[in-house]
Amino acid sequence: MATSSASASSTKALIILTVVGLLVFTLPTVLVLLVGMIPSFIAYATDRRKEKYKTLSVGCLNFLGILPVLTMLWTKDHSFDMAFSLFADPFSWLMVLGAAAAGWTIFLIAPSVVAMFLSARIEMSVERLKKRQTKLIEEWGNGVSGNEDNG
């Protein structure tokens, strides 16, 4: 029992050392991600649902908005100066915040769109059932409709 506990703690320590080692070499990337993903952190902090739909929609599109900025950082010069100059560029902020805004929009509009489609589908089902009921009444009489007493 003690061996598995020691093994688990050594694995945990190895993972922590690996992450810290990677962070040291990728600090400009981490800086850009931390600053650029602020809308996602806000979405997570305000998302009260267990499913975290808000976090998912905002986070995915926010990451897509930060990806071109990260690509510029990686291809030009992976340094703090480049990271700061990318965030000094309004176009970078437009991409990042515009994508996050698209995520918020999807989160806010999607339930209404789904409700409209479900409502239309239900109405079509009701119409189909009414036509079927009319055919049954024509074939079998009013007794099958349930509206008439057979008493």
pLDDT averaged per 10 residues in sequence order, the chain, 151 residues = 71 89 88 96 94 95 97 94 95 97 96 95 96 90 72 43
- For 21, phi and psi rounded to 5 degrees? -60, -40
Angle between helix 80-88 and helix 90-140 axes, rounded to 10 deg: 60
Domain boundaries, the chain: 2-145
- pTM comes to 0.71
Q: Which two tokens stand for residue 51?
A: 């499913």
